[in-house]
Amino acid sequence: MSHVDLRISYRDGRPRVGYLYLSDPKEKSEHSTRVEPGMVLDINKKGQLIGIEFLAPTMVTLDKINAVLKDYGLDPLKESELKPLLAA
């Protein structure tokens, strides 16, 4: 992956939502697919995974994210790349 950016929004000190950008944040999603509880995949018009939205950040695990990335032929992420999300 050439671009990975993680953003998390908090409310009252708790993680509310998160988003993992896997491409340029300006790239637009053609459609979205809900997978795991609280995980929504954004797909571009070429069928490529461009981002993952976390509706329930506390339910997310590195294994779940890497399983999705593997399904789309992407390299797995390291724990250090998701540290803020996993700490939530």
This prediction's pTM = 0.87
CA angle 42, 38, 9 (to 5 degrees): 80
- For the chain, what is the domain count? 1
In a domain, 23, yes or no: yes
Phi, psi torsion values for 84, nearest 5 degrees = -65, -40
d(C-alpha 50, C-alpha 66), whole Å: 14
pLDDT digits (tens, 9 = 90+) for 49-75: 999 999 988 888 899 999 999 999 999
In a domain, 61, yes or no: yes
In a domain, 21, yes or no: yes
pLDDT digits (tens, 9 = 90+) for 2-22: 568 888 888 888 888 999 999
Q: Whole domain around residue 25: which residue ranges?
A: 5-77
